[in-house]
Chain A
Amino acid sequence: MNFRHCLLSLLLFATATATARAQAVIEGRVKLPKTHSTPVMNKRYEIVTAGGVLAPNPPVAVVYLAGAFPKPTNAAVAQIAQKDLMFVPALLPVQVGTKVEFPNLDNAYHNIFSYSPPKRFDLGRYRSDEKPLPAQVFDVPGLVTLRCDIHEHMRGLVLVLETPHFMTTDTDGHFQLTNLPPGQFKLKAWVSSQSTLEIPVDLKTNSVLHVNLP
């Protein structure tokens, strides 16, 4: 690498860093419920069952910036897998218009369906090597509950949002939303179907806002 290349790389890095800093950041913590979901599998009429227990689902929240944002030009693609007879992840936030694929990573059939008003579908029974991957486009905002017609305990959620600025907290409730535009918005935290917390925020360029919910 010669001197000119080094100089060019340094200039590009400096420009990128300056652009990132021009955007606002919100970080903080959402108070999560203490209870966690521990599914119990119905094995009553399975002649042969494997050992082991289903992994518990610790509570997490989805934090997002609500406001009027332009629609994405390119449709995003996300995945919810069925692995070890569970949805992974159990909660997936997506922007309106996102295509969600449902790969089956188990050695058994699954039959994913939803009767939620924003998206009703039934993918039928499909194998782990199914191609193309069964998928659905989520084009109406709202909460979609996923279930499996074969495994009664399986339950997953897709939270369809109108904003591109969202993330899932960690299991302690910590979050950091980056690359946010300056302006006045509402910061919301979806904790459960019964509870969405919100707080108005005023974002300024190159600022880092600390917010705890509630």
Chain B
Amino acid sequence: MKRLLVICCWLVALTVRLDAEDCFDRVNEWLTFTACHDLIRTRVSGLMDLEGYAFTQPAPGLLYTDDNKLFNSRLTLFLDAQLGPHVYAFAQGRVDRGFDPSDSSEQARADEYALRITPWDDGRFNLQVGKFATVVGNWVERHQSWENPFVTAPLPYENTTAIYDAEAPASAQDFVGARTDPKYEYCPVIWGPSYATGASISGRLGKFDYAAEMKNATLSSRPDSWSATQVGFQHPTLSGRLGFRPNEMWNLGVSASDGPYYLAEAQRSLPLGHSLGDYRELVLGQDLSFAWHHFQLWAECYEVRFDVPRVGNADTLAYYLEAKYKFTPQLFGAVRWNQQLFANVPDGLGGAASWGRNLWRIDTALGYRFTAHLQGKVQYSLQCENSGASDFGHLVAAQFTVRF
């Protein structure tokens, strides 16, 4: 951890130098390799993140610590390879304290790797295989720290629900009761960018685009499940998105996903005669983005249904509206309104109860790009669960990112 921290600090110090921009451009050229008369091109690039969080307990979103502050550093390396005009491959590896910020020890992982074939130049059809981000929604394209105006993800991608994928609830009472297990055991409706393993097809036809994927794990599945060595394809998840882009300014899309969400170890806790494939997560999503000059707007809405053993359908709706504006060439601000609402389910006592706490959250952020390779962001979030004043939670976060 100390070594990573020293490297991060050294890179930040190097980057703030005025001539560092040119230096980083030269590093970029050194990290680009070509062969066969430029037919094969590869480039190594990366992100170095230093993050600090201070918050009221319980830790919000996918932050894992019992403390009320957390420091996290992350080194992300990317490999992009263009193999002739029709084949593209990429990979992402990380050294950090867990896929989501936590106080655990340092670890290294291969988070993404994929091969994409584009037979026609107009992009009417792409085939991609590997371990890569979901095609659902529009947040994935800005989920890395450099593109994300905030430090944290929107609510649908990080707010854990009562869904526990390792064991089915013993009863409806058990499901709607207070959560007793560590937060990491519970799942959000979509776990971050969902780098599950599988294959996708996508393409553009005029103003429309399409994408469909078959993955080994559902959208709510935890990062440990995304690798094909952990979860196979016995119960695949199918997802898709249809997009409409009337012009460069607007991008509208509808998404859907369906797949079983229980891990294999949950089989023993399922009702007799039922299998993992019987309990599914169904996601319907709508997304919108708009951009014009220095203003950008994104919105996503997800209607999600989990089929829960001994309970029935557990429905939730999660959405957010996010806007970013560049005040100057280097200073930008962003604001995001998030909300998640939970439906009632039978409580096992003859009545009905909500299977989660309704909540809203407002995220605000200010960011500054010191150079084309160094960015700083600060974020403040106010979260309210149900309606009591004591249910307010606060988060302050800061993040420095070096891009090379």
Contacts and interface: CB of A to CB of B under 8 A. Distances in A.
B329 A49 contact: no
A116 interface: yes
Interface string A33-52: 00101111111111111111
Contacts of B38: 38, 53, 56
A155 interface: yes
B82 A127 contact: no
B116 A49 contact: yes
Contact of A47 (B45, B143, B209): B209
Given A49-B88, A50-B122, A115-B329, A40 B42 contact: yes
Nearest to B92: A44
Interface in A33-80: 35, 37-53, 56
Given A113-B329, A127-B247, A145-B25, A40 B80 contact: yes
Nearest to B371: A115
A115 B122 contact: no
Contact of A42 (B80, B123, B211, B241): B80
Contacts of B92: 44
B130 to A, nearest CB: 11
A46 B141 contact: yes
Interface stretch (A20-28, A93-101, A117-125): A117-125
A79 B369 CA distance: 26
Contact of B249 (A39, A121, A127): A127
Given A37-B29, A109-B291, A145-B21, A48 B209 contact: yes
A40 to B, nearest CB: 4
Contact of B78 (A42, A56, A155): A42
A45 B78 contact: no
Interface string B288-302: 000111111000000
B203 A124 contact: no
A147 interface: yes
Choose among A44, A46, A107 the residue with the greatest number of B CB atoms under 10 Å from its CB: A44
B84 to A, nearest CB: 7
Contacts of B326: 122, 124
Given A44-B80, A45-B133, A51 B202 contact: no
Given A45-B140, A49-B123, A126-B293, A115 B21 contact: yes
Given A44-B112, A51-B123, A108-B248, A38 B80 contact: no
Contacts of B120: 51
Interface in B82-127: 82, 84-86, 88, 90, 92, 112, 116, 118-123, 126
B43 A40 contact: yes
B235 interface: no
A117 B20 CA distance: 12
B81 interface: yes
A114 to B, nearest CB: 8
Interface in A118-139: 120-122, 124-128
A193 interface: yes
A122 B141 CA distance: 21
Given A46-B141, A125-B291, A193-B22, A51 B80 contact: no
15 contacts: A38-B32, A38-B34, A38-B38, A39-B41, A40-B80, A47-B135, A48-B202, A51-B85, A51-B86, A109-B291, A114-B329, A122-B330, A125-B291, A125-B296, A145-B21
Interface of B: 18, 21-22, 25-26, 29, 32, 34, 38-39, 41-43, 45, 78, 80-82, 84-86, 88, 90, 92, 112, 116, 118-123, 126, 132-133, 135, 140-141, 143-144, 202-204, 209, 211, 241, 243, 247-249, 291-296, 326, 328-330, 369, 371-372
Given A53-B84, A108-B248, 12 more contacts: A37-B29, A49-B118, A51-B119, A51-B121, A53-B38, A115-B329, A115-B371, A115-B372, A117-B18, A122-B294, A125-B291, A125-B294
Interface of A: 35, 37-53, 56, 107-109, 113-117, 120-122, 124-128, 145, 147, 152, 155, 193-194
